[in-house]
Each structure stands twice: as structure tokens, then as C-alpha cells.
Amino acid sequence: MPSRSFELPGAPIDNIEVSGGAVLVAGGSCLYELGPELRPQRRVVPAAGQGCGEPPGTRSNLLLHYQEAGGVGILLTGWTQDGGACQVWEQPSYRQRLNQSEVVSCLPDGSTAGVVFQQAGAWYLAVAATYSTSADTNHLHCEPSKSDKETVITVRSMVNLKSMEELGIIKRREEPLHFVDALQWGNHLFFPYYTLKAKLGNNTEPPSMAVLQLLLPSSGGLTLQGHVYLDCGCRSLIISSSLVRQGERGWWVGVFRHSHNAKAWNSTAVCIFGMDEMKDKACTSPHFNMNGKTCEAPSIKKLPTLIHSGLVAVYGTVVLNRIVLFLGTDDGQLLKAILNEDMKSSCPEVLYEIEEETSIFPKLRLDPKNNNYIYLPSANKDDCNATASKGITTVQKTEHISIQSIEPLWISTLGKSEITVKGENFTRASGIKLILTGITGCKPDVIKVRNVLNDTQMTFALPPTRKEAKSICIQANGKKCSPPMTLHYVSLPSCSRITPNTSWISGGRKITTTGRNFNVVDSVIISDDQRSNLTVSRCPGNASEYHYLTPSLSHATEGKVVDMMLKVDTTFIPCVKLHYHPDPVFINYQLHTELDPDLELKIYKENDNLNISKTEVEVYLSYMTGAQTKRIWFSVQNITKKPDRSTILCKFKREGTDKIDFSTVKVFVKLGNFEHEVKPTSSHIYLYVLILLPIVVGVIIAAFIVTRYKSKELTRKQSQQLELLEYEIRKEIREGFAELQMDELDVVDSFGTVPFLDYKHFALRTFFPESGGFASIFSEEMPQSRDQTSKDESFNMLHALICNKNFLVTLIHTLEKQKNFSVKDRCLFASFLTIALQTKLVYLTHILEVLTRDLMEQSSNVQPKLLLRRTESVVEKLLTNWMSVCLSGFLRETIGEPFYLLVTTLNQRINKGPVDAITCKALYTLNEDWLLWQVSEFKTVTVNIIFEKIPENESGDACQTIPVNVLDCDTIGQAKEKSLQAFFNKNGFLYGLQLDEIGLELVSEEHQRELLDIDGSSEVMEDGIRKLNTIGHYEISNGATIKVFKKKANTRSDVDYSDEHCHLILPDSEANKDVKGAGHKGKQKFKVKEMYLTKLLSTKVAIHSVVEKLFRSIWSLPNNKAPVAIKYFFDFLDAQAESKKITDPDVVHIWKTNSLPLRFWVNILKNPQFVFDIKKTSHIDGCLSVIAQAFMDAFSLAEQTLGKEAPTNKLLYAKDIPLYKKEVKAYYKAIRDLPPLTTAEVEEFLAQESKKHENEFNEKVALFEIYKYIVKYYDEIVSKLERERGFEEVQKQLQQVKALFDEKKKCKWH
């Protein structure tokens, strides 16, 4: 039976209820709403803050759910705090409608039972509770008023939850009562209860059922009809209750228990009573104050339907007109019993066992939506039920034999090879049998005597069985069985902790192992790999603790680990591991006699891993008195541990006048089996100390003086460095904050015509992203051969062959099974196939469908969520190509402009700040890896750039002067780029010369000077590295004039940058030089990358609107219409999921995400050069990767759990992702809700796309590439066709194609 679990944090479970599709669990001061799979959906009470165990002693004692008119769900919760408060909540919002105190019991052990009912259109709560007891409860501050002290049952309106006389108030007499449940049957209410005296074991009075009649408030409200005693085999307590409705009949099922604590085979029982019978027999009750006819205390006696040793919960239901009971036990079992028409039980089936064997909570609930599941709350196990003994003595005498004892009476579920029965006259009896009877309905075991040892002892072998307590009796001579005893079958013992977990090699250390069911252990075994198993103890101890002494392992080494095992009958059960360490080492001792008559002894010991306590150490002193040896045993006071050694402090108080000859003293330490004589401290050490002390003091004084001087110098330098550090951090934080609040990016709204690539180049770049050489091949014509007819015929036949759907699918599957048909081959084959069938998109789409279904068949049995996630098959690459073909128009018409705007804006933002010309790192970026954090201060310089008339630019004027903003840290090459961009922004067309064809010349009154990145004035750093010249290097100021000129042919002043050049990122030796400036002369410039992370955020803010515009243009539906390709393929995936009976919506969501965003949009977002005629820099690539990651996170179903150490590319869009996810889900839903496309609509769209792209490619090149793969694997393909039926004609066509291509190949050599 599959199971799931939920553990209430910090408190035990007090209550459980089901509400619609949710499970409500309460305990302590908490209320949780769980999903059907027990996943927490919300914490209702308290909303946040305190834990479930706060304040201590708080319990939930009422949890009810009902539905008002209109389907509004109402939840009642009752708590022991606030005088027994009750709240009313509206579901599913959990808005609190009402909070009323003094409704339920506020006593921690007080009972509360309630039922909600409707009468005359109004809702009422009938609640029975133990508001007061005879015990003193003033310290709990919940004692009711004197007038309410005897109140036990009230009816309250759900409007205000206040008790009113006209609704009904029932009061008890002297004896406090404990209520178990509240039930409604027709117009009567039933409250099962028992007296508190019975719970304490002071009363044998049977439990009762109070019966109340519902009347209108005008007629007196709730009226007590009376009570009836419920006799279930003289059991005086009710533990759990359940109402079973069987047509028009109702049955009440109760679990009854004896009041004594001793656990026996018949301690609990299930009895079933008819609701109508209890209603009819109810009469005046001695427990309540009531008026009515007096009558004898009525009693209904029922034989137990089922007897068990430890039932604690019951839930009854009807299945196929049979009553089915689900029963919980105090050792964690869930049982299922089916009753026949006579209410007799079958042998219960064990459905589930809690591994920790904790007791089941008395309240069980079925899943309201799926009755195959039952919710099984578990409470803490009552320790008193674990008490055990090896045997119980009793005497049963018959004519011939008497039974005195049976040992043991606690065994494991494995059975027992031998139990001993003691008594008299065994040798005179015949036909001796042992009868073992378990739970009602199960067949008893009849076991013949194994061996009669003598007249007073005999043995039996008990079989294995499930966990339960059984009755055991002895039968002889065909006579009546002896009085039954209780035999406990318990689960195998298990260990939870060992204290201590170490021992010294000599052994003898006392070990305590805690766990459960140790009373069935025969012995403790220690298993050592170098010796056979050692039995260290045969005394089982009690059920939860096992004590034994460790054996000696003289051969053990440091850290030796041995296994401790429990022997149960013939089975060995692993328990815990024990670590052996060397015996402790005692260094010496000091004996202080000046405290005469007291003696103080200090023993010094090396530190070790044994964690010896003072109770384990025995210390004694021996000395000589004449010829006699005497001993003094010391009291160990404490053991203190220091870094270098441990000290054991011992004391002894002398009595009498005995004199100790200290010259004969010997000190011994004993730990278990280890005993050692400790040597005294040597007196020579004091002489060494006196000699070395002056020397050490002198060295210390000298070291102190030197250290103090150096410390002052270091403090002064550190103070200067911290001053600079503080200044730099303060400045950078302020500038970063100001930039985030004030900085704006002037986005170019009009950037002229978007430079789209034509369809052919767009397709080739998406089909062959890593094989640029195919772009030119597919644009060329095939070389003409001498036999043009033969050539055309070969290609025509090959084309006809791949247009055979069965052949093409078989061909692809055969190729994919070849080991050397790599992933690259699969992608190339898919792209060649797309080009070859460019004009037959309808057919290509059918192939895509077939291959996708085949791929699903391969993936469905393993991981359906991984479908289409990677590109490891032909169909996955084919899907990418198909999306590119079908969405090219949508990409150009809808997505192109916002995408180009994003690339342009991103370039503009990057160039607004410093960019290192060598590494391309920039101050303004989205990617931390491309962040230029080593930047120095910079400023903007506005220069006038003169563009002269050149022949290459026929559209330009004679001469133009354009103001251009550059940075003083820009290189000359960067200044040229910005100048050409400024010319394009102003005129809308290019200047006409490439970047390396122009030069810059500084124009001044004195002279003209050519500006170069590297010239004779360039600064040379250490190690010969040359720094590129910048605008600041030439001391160019605002308003300066610079002329653009065309370089002479065959001259080049620019250089190819290498490791021998630098720009803004300086070599380490240069970066650490002193900063030159008035404010910081002689101080080092401090730089930390994290100080500049705000630049990532400012860049994100600057382009955020552009990014969102692009995202929403992708996942929006213009005119409420989706692109045909997307709608078609998403509907195809929905249909496949339905046909495969995949009900998890997450699987379909992931399929759609893998097929469209992951396979197509991310590829486009990261590669703008696929769409536009632009050059993508490495820096732009890094920024677009961050945006693409955010785009994919929006489609992910996984919840992001980001911490402070998360990567910045994740943190940058962390707050936006939840909103994007909602929009994506709405996008998927909107597509699904659109009317489905007809086959004609899809084929018309595909036919139009095919017609658009006629004659775009040289399809014969693609066919020839496909033929190469066919030839390479020709034998495998033919072999596959031969094994399949219906391919005879296809084989002939394939042979003809091969013959034609072979002939053409021969012609090339002639």
C-alpha cells in the first residue's frame, strides 16, 4: 500500500479532518492545510512567528467542517487557550468570521466533542465538554464560573457561539464526565462518554451513550432523552468511535478498553450497537440533571465483534453492502476487517505499519476524493504499554496436571524455537497441546508439545506470526484448556543510541544501548573481523535499555570499529558500532598531604577520545605498614580537560590515627578491566624550572618591547588603509545609489530600417549554426555532367524514395541505431532533409508527427519529462528546423523590431561607460563575468568630428561636422567606432568606409596630429607591456575638433592587440601602485568587484522596459490568434498526452516548453546574427545569455529557492520571474482554449509556406548529402528492409538509385 507522510513541527497531532480536496491537521497551537498528497499548502494558525508548541500545554480539541448554502465552506476550530476559544473560518480564504471564548474545554486533558447541524434553515453547534473536574485547576486559569461549573452539553447558534437556555444547556451531577464523540442520527444527537472515575481505574461502571432530541428553539431546544449503558465485555472506557450508515439503518462502532494499564490479549474490543436501539432504550440518567420518568438504568450488552490487545482507533464504512472497519493499534498498525451479515469479523488484514511503532491517533479519516487512501495520524507511544516481563506465574489445576508459569511471554514475530512451561504431573498426561489464539476471526494455532523434559517441565516451539498479543493456554487429556495467559508477539528489536560509543582496548566499560523490544533479545554479540562472535551479555534487561560490559580486544588498533548485534533466537540483527581506542595513558600524579588529615590527589592523563566520566574511574592508594599492605580508596571529585592534558581530582578523608609511610605509597587507577600504576611527578623538574625561569622572563620582556613597536607601526599603516577603504566604499555606494535613482538611457526610438537577413541566410544559420560552409554550398549550382538526363533521373528517383513515408521513417530509425552515426550526423541529416523537402512541408510535417510519436514511445517508460529536452535524435533537430521555417514570418513581422531594439539598446548601454579594448569587459553589463570592476574615474568629452566628402559616400554632403560624446578613457579605435555610429544615427546611412580604413586627426591652431592607439608616446608599463592611447592620453578637452580622413592604401597604423598590450585592466604590479592625488597621496587605491555589482542592476533597470516588451511580444496572442505552427503542435502534444493517459499537467507543460521556447526562442534570443545582418560581440553574447536564462526560468515549473550566495544572473531577474510565470501559464492556457485548427487550415498554411520558399536552395545538394549517408550505411539499410514486410518494391528502387549514382561517379573519371 503506497504511503505519504507529514510531520507537524514542534507538537503532536491533536486533531484531523477532511475538507473538500484538503486535509486539515491541528496540534499544539497550529492548524495546517495539506493537499491530498500531504504537501503543506498553508499554515492557517498561527500565520507566522511562534512554533506549534508555544505556548506550552496548548491543544486543539475541536475541528469540524460543514458547507453552508451556496457552497461556502465553514471550519470550526477549538483550542484550550483563551479559556477554551473557538473560531469560525470561511474557506478557502480562511477569513476569520468569529472568535468566541469559553466554548470548548480549556483543560489540557479535558474532553470536547461537537457536531454541527441545521434546523429551520439555521446552523447550530452542539458541544459536549469537560469544563471542570474535581481536581484543583486554578493554576491553569480556566476554571468556569460557579453557574457553569456543572455544564457539560450546550447548543449554540453559529451566529455568535453563545450558550442560551432556550437552545439547550445540559448539566451533570457530581461526577465529572469524559466525552469521546458527538454524532447526529435523524433528529437525535448521541454523545458516547464515561466517568472520570472509570478512567482512573476506581470504578467498574460501564460507559454510556447520552441521547438528546432536537427540538425547535420555541419548543425548548435540545432536550435530554436520557442515557443507556453500553456493555462490551465489562470494559469501562471508550477509546474511539465511528458512525456507519447502511441505508436507512445506522450502526455505532466503538473501541472499548479495560481501565487497568496492564496490556493483555483481551484488553480492547470492538462492539457494534444499533442507533435506533440506543435511542429507544435511553432513559433517565444518573449522570445528568434532568426531568423525566424514572426508570432502571438501561443497559445494552453486546458480544465483542473483535478482540485485540491494543486497539486505539476505528473508522467504519460500507463497501458492497458489507461493513468494513479500519482499525488503528497502539503499536502503529492499520488493520482492515470485513464483517458478515451477523456482524462477525474476518481475520483482519494488516494494511500498513508505522516503522517507529508510534500509536495511531483515535481519529481516522478517508480521503474524500479517493477512497483507496486513508489518513493515518500517529501520536506518541504511551510508555506504560511497553512494560514487559519474562514470565507470569499462575496456577491451574485439573485432575492430572497443573500449570505454574510459561517463559518467556514476550517473543519476536520470528517465533521462538523453545519456550518452557513449568508445572506438575506432565509425565502422566497425554495429548498435551498448546493453543495460541490471536485476534478475533483468525484461525488459532494448535501446537503439540515438543519435549516433556520431566514431570515439572516441558517445551514447545512457537511459529512466526504478525505483531500482536495472543492468548495462550495448555490442553491435556482432551480436557478443558487452562486459563489463558497473554503472549506478546512484538517486532524485531532495534537500536537507536549507544552511550558511550567508545571503549578502551582492555574492555570492561559499561555500555548502555537504548532502543525498543530488547526484552525479546537472547544475547548481545560483538562481531570482530579478527575473532569469532563474542557473547558479551545474556541478560535481556528491560524493553528499552540494554546494559553490558565491553570485552577485551588486545589486538585492536587505534580507531578499531566493531559491530554490536542482537541475537534473537537464531537470527542476528545489526545494532550499532562500537569504537575501540587504546587504553588511557596516565602521566603522573601529585599527592598533597598538607591538608592533614585530608588527602588530595591529582592524576594527570593524556587527552584521548574516550570521554571518561568520573563515575567510571576507581582510584586507590597502597602503602606498607610493617609487613602488611593497606589500601585507601579515593572519591573522584571531577575530571577537567585542558588542551594539553586532563586532570583527575580525588579526595580522601582520613579517620583514626593511622600513619601513612609516604615513601611506600603507590597510586593505582582502575577502569573496567584496565588497571594501571601511576608514577609520581619527578622532583628534578623544579630545579630545571628555577634555572630557566629568569631566561624565559628576559626573552619575554624583549619580545614584548619589539612586538609593541611593530604593532604601533602596523596599526598606523592599517589605519591609513582603512581610511582609504572607507572612502572608496562610501563613494562607490553613493554613486551606485544615485545612478540607480537618476540615470536614464536615451533609447533610440527610430533606428531606420531593421537589417533583416533574407530567408535563405536566416534558415541556413539556424539549420547549420556550427557549419557556416554550407551557406555557400547551397547557393551554388551543381556542376553539369555530360549525362544531364541520367543526373536528373538519379536525383528524381532519390527524391521520390524519400517521399515514401514508410521508407523514410525506417531509414531514420536504422541510421539512429548505428553507433558511429553521431549527434552531429543526426543534426546534419535533419537539416539536409528539411532543405530537400522545403517545398513539401505538409509531407515533412507528417514525418515529424510519426517520429515524435516514436520518440514518445521510447521515453514514456523512463522519463516522460525529458522528451524533446536535448538534441540527440533526428526528430529533435527536425523540430527545431520546422519551427524556424514555420515561424520565420511571425519572427520578422512581430518579434524582429523589439528584438533589434533590445540589441541596439544593450549596445548603447554598454558603450555609455568604459569598455576595456583588450578583454571587451565593460562597466555597464548584465553579466558578472563581463563586469569591468577595475575601472578608474572617467568623464565624458564632447568633440566635433569633421566628416569630409568621400567618393564612397555618394549620398553625403560636401562636409559635415557632428558633435560626438566620447569618454576620456576611450581608445582611439573606440572613438572611431562611436564617430561612425554617430554619423549613422544622424543620417540614417553608413559613412562608406570601414573602421580600419579611416583615421582620426586632432585639429588645432598650432598643428595637426594623427591619433593612434599605439605610437611613440604610448606609456610602457613594467614587464614591457604597452598601454593603449586614450582620449585622455592626448589631453583632448571638450569642444576639440577631430577630422576623419581616409587612410592611404597599403598603410595600417592600427595594431593587433595581444598580451603585450593593456587598456583599462592593468597588470597587477601597476594596479597596486600608489594613487596620485591631493586627497590620497601615498595611499593605495582599493578595488573590490562586489562594490560594482550595482552596475548590473542599473543596466537591468535601463533596458527593463525593452526586455519586457520583447518577452510579451513572444508570449502574447495578437488579435487573440496564435501562429498556426504553435497552435497545431501544442494541440498535437495535448492529444498525445491524452492518448497515453498522462494526467499530470506538468508533463504536457514541459513538453511544450521543450518544443518551442527551449528549441527555438532561446536559440534566437542568444543569436541575433541569425536574424539580423549584424556582428555579435562576445560581450553582447554574455548579456543575451542572462536574458535568455530569465526567459527560460519563466517557463520553468520548478520553484526558485535563491539565497544570498546565488549567482547574480539568477538574482537579477528573481523578482520578475513569478510574474512572468503567471503570464506564461496564461499564454499556454489561451492557446489551449483557442478553437482547434482543421486539417485543411493547417495544410493550407504549410502549402503557402512551401510556395514562398521555392527555388531558395539547391535541393540537389541536400539530396546528394542524404545519399552519402545512405551509401555509408547501405548494407544495414538493405538488411532492415529485407526483415520488414512490404518493402520489396522499395528495395528495387533503392538499388536503382545506387546504380544511377555509381554510374555518374564512373563518368567523372572518364
Single out the residue of 303, 113, 130, 118 nearest to residue 190, CA to CA. 113
pLDDT of residue 958: 65
Reported as a pLDDT band with limits 50, 70 and 90, residue 617 is: very high
For 703, 1084, 1236, the CA distances from 711, given in Å and listed in that order, are: 12, 20, 82
pLDDT of residue 967: 93
3-state helix/strand/coil string of 117-175: EEECCEEEEEEEECCCCCCCCHHHCCCCCHHHCCEEEEEEECCCCCECCCCCEEEECCC
Identify whether the C-beta of residue 535 lies closer than 8 Å to the C-beta of residue 521: no
The cell for 112 is 470536547
Comparing 46-50, 923-927, 1216-1220, which segment has the lowest mean pLDDT?
46-50
pLDDT of residue 1310: 39
pLDDT of residue 1: 47
pLDDT of residue 1130: 92
Is residue 383 predicted with pLDDT exceeding 60?
no
Helices (H) and strands (E) in the chain, counts: 24, 60
Comparing 389-393, 814-818, 917-921, 1169-1173, which segment has the lowest mean pLDDT?
389-393
The cell for 198 is 472509570
| DSSP 8-state symbol, 76 | E
Query: What is the spatial distance between Cα 737 and Cα 731, in angstroms, rounded to a whole number?
Result: 10
The per-residue pLDDT for range 313-330, each reduced to its tens digit, is: 999 999 888 999 999 999
Beta bridge partners of 95: 90
Average pLDDT of the segment spanning 182-192: 94
pLDDT of residue 1144: 81
pLDDT of residue 669: 94
User: What is the phi/psi pair of residue 498, to 5°?
Assistant: -130, 130
Name residue, grid cell 501544442.
Answer: 1130
Strands in 531-537's sheet, in edge-to-edge order, are 502-504, 571-581, 560-568, 523-528, 531-537
Comparing 278-282, 1180-1184, 1283-1287, which segment has the lowest mean pLDDT?
1283-1287
The cell for 1165 is 534570443
Average pLDDT of the segment spanning 401-414: 87
Beta bridge partners of 193: 179, 208
Reported as a pLDDT band with limits 50, 70 and 90, residue 1140 is: confident
pLDDT of residue 861: 46
Comparing 66-70, 223-227, 298-302, 1083-1087, which segment has the lowest mean pLDDT?
1083-1087
pLDDT of residue 524: 85
Is residue 438 predicted with pLDDT exceeding 80?
yes
Query: What is the spatial distance between Cα 954 and Cα 1039, in angstroms, rounded to a whole number?
Result: 29
Grouping H, G, I as helix, E, B as strand and the rest as coil, residue 1278 is helix
Query: What is the spatial distance between Cα 600 and Cα 647, in angstroms, rounded to a whole number?
Result: 12
User: What is the phi/psi pair of residue 141, to 5°?
Assistant: 55, 40
Query: b or e along 1122-1135 (b: 16 or more beta carbons within 10 Å of the residue's beta carbon)?
Result: bbbbbbbbbbbbbe
Identify whether the C-beta of residue 1139 lies closer than 8 Å to the C-beta of residue 1145: no
Is residue 789 predicted with pLDDT exceeding 50?
no
Beta bridge partners of 124: 117, 157
Query: What is the spatial distance between Cα 447 and Cα 516, in angstroms, rounded to a whole number?
Result: 29
Single out the residue of 61, 79, 63, 54 nearest to residue 24, CA to CA. 63
The cell for 533 is 562472535
Query: What is the spatial distance between Cα 862 and Cα 865, in angstroms, rounded to a whole number?
Result: 9
Name residue, grid cell 598603410.
Answer: 1051
Identify whether the C-beta of residue 1008 lies closer than 8 Å to the C-beta of residue 983: no
Single out the residue of 445, 575, 424, 441 nearest to residue 511, CA to CA. 575
The per-residue pLDDT for range 104-135, each reduced to its tens digit, is: 998 888 899 999 998 888 899 999 999 888 66
* Other Cβ atoms closer than 10 A to 335: 25
- 290 compared with 815, residue with greater pLDDT: 815
The cell for 422 is 513449568
CA 714 to chain centre: 50
pLDDT of residue 1255: 79
* Other Cβ atoms closer than 10 A to 630: 13
Grouping H, G, I as helix, E, B as strand and the rest as coil, residue 206 is coil
- Reported as type and span, the H/E element at residue 575 is strand 571-581
pLDDT of residue 1075: 45
pLDDT of residue 965: 92
Amino acid at 1178: S
* Other Cβ atoms closer than 10 A to 554: 7
Identify whether the C-beta of residue 263 lies closer than 8 Å to the C-beta of residue 329: no
pTM for the model stands at 0.51
The per-residue pLDDT for range 975-985, each reduced to its tens digit, is: 998 998 888 87
The per-residue pLDDT for range 267-312, each reduced to its tens digit, is: 999 999 999 999 999 988 888 887 655 677 789 999 999 999 999 9
Is residue 261 predicted with pLDDT exceeding 80?
no
Grouping H, G, I as helix, E, B as strand and the rest as coil, residue 580 is strand
pLDDT of residue 367: 81
Query: What is the spatial distance between Cα 925 and Cα 945, in angstroms, rounded to a whole number?
Result: 28
Helix axes 823-836, 805-816, angle to 10 degrees: 160
Identify whether the C-beta of residue 226 lies closer than 8 Å to the C-beta of residue 238: no
Query: What is the spatial distance between Cα 1203 and Cα 141, in angstroms, rounded to a whole number?
Result: 45
Identify whether the C-beta of residue 22 lies closer than 8 Å to the C-beta of residue 33: yes
* Other Cβ atoms closer than 10 A to 782: 12
Query: Considering the chain, what percentage of its residues have pLDDT values greater than 70?
Result: 86
Identify whether the C-beta of residue 905 lies closer than 8 Å to the C-beta of residue 1106: yes
Reported as a pLDDT band with limits 50, 70 and 90, residue 28 is: confident
Query: b or e along 909-938 (b: 16 or more beta carbons within 10 Å of the residue's beta carbon)?
Result: bbbbbbbbbebbbbbbbbbbebbbbbbeeb
Average pLDDT of the segment spanning 1023-1044: 89
Query: What is the spatial distance between Cα 485 and Cα 674, in angstroms, rounded to a whole number?
Result: 47
Query: What is the spatial distance between Cα 28 and Cα 10, in angstroms, rounded to a whole number?
Result: 8
Reported as a pLDDT band with limits 50, 70 and 90, residue 722 is: confident
The per-residue pLDDT for range 1078-1098, each reduced to its tens digit, is: 344 333 444 566 667 778 888
User: What is the phi/psi pair of residue 85, to 5°?
Assistant: -80, 155
pLDDT of residue 1080: 40
Contacts of 441 (CB under 8 A, 6+ apart): 306, 337, 344, 345, 346, 347, 348
Contacts of 310 (CB under 8 A, 6+ apart): 263, 267, 268, 329, 330, 331, 385, 469
Helix axes 874-890, 805-816, angle to 10 degrees: 120
Q: What is the mean pLDDT of the chain?
A: 83
List the Cα angle 334/340/343 in 5-degree steps: 80
| DSSP 8-state symbol, 1031 | T
